[in-house]
């Protein structure tokens, strides 16, 4: 693995179903993030984690949950998917949050369609 990987690449999901988007990084970055990207809008932060064992809410957290059991993995769960959650989801990581340049590096994204 090099950088950040996300799975699945794309998914079509029935409304009401539970779904977990996976994200793994091998850069030993402390901070990780989940964004959604919708046409005409900027990237919007869903949840973040400053370090393993801690998580925080971003701009649009409703309907999503995350966990950070270790440094490498940061899964995003939709408990009961709704059509408004149709989007492209990006996972990102940075060496630190709140210090230095805080440059974020992104995974390839997951395209999710909720019908």
Partner 1 sequence: GQNIDQPTEMTATEGAIVQINCTYQTSGFNGLFWYQQHAGEAPTFLSYNVLDGLEEKGRFSSFLSRSKGYSYLLLKELQMKDSASYLCAVLDSNYQLIWGAGTKLIIKP
Write out the residues near partner 1 by the rule CB under 8 A: 40-45, 48, 58, 90, 97-98, 101-109
CB of 44 to partner 1, least distance (A): 8
14 or 28, CB closer to partner 1?
28
CB of residue 75 to partner 1, shortest distance in Å? 18
Tokens of 89: 């989801």
Closer Cβ to partner 1, 72 or 107, answer by number:
107
DSSP code, position 73: B
Which stretches does DSSP call E strand in the chain?
4-7, 10-13, 19-25, 31-37, 44-49, 56-57, 64-66, 76-78, 87-94, 105-106, 110-114
Cβ pair 91, 108 in contact under 8 A: no
CB-wise, 14 or 98, nearer to partner 1? Answer: 98
Alpha-carbon torsion, ordered 63, 109, 75, 44, to 10 deg: -40
Of the pair 2, 14, the CB lying nearest partner 1 is at 2
User: What's the min distance (Å) between Cβ of 80 and partner 1?
Assistant: 27
Q: Is 101 helix (H, G, I), strand (E, B) or coil?
A: coil
Least spacing, CB of residue 15 vs partner 1, in Å: 25
């Amino acid at each position: 693995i090099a950088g950040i990987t996300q799975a699945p690449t794309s998914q079509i999901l029935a409304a009401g179903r539970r779904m977990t988007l996976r994200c793994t990084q091998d850069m030993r970055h402390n901070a990780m993030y989940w964004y959604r990207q919708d046409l005409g809008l900027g990237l919007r932060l869903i949840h973040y984690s400053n370090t393993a064992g801690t998580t925080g809410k971003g701009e649009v957290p409703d309907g999503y949950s995350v966990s950070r059991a270790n440094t490498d993995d940061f899964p995003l769960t939709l408990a009961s998917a709704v059509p408004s959650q149709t989007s492209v989801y990006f996972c990102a990581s940075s060496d630190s949050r709140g210090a230095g340049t805080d440059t974020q590096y992104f995974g390839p994204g997951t395209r999710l369609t909720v019908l």
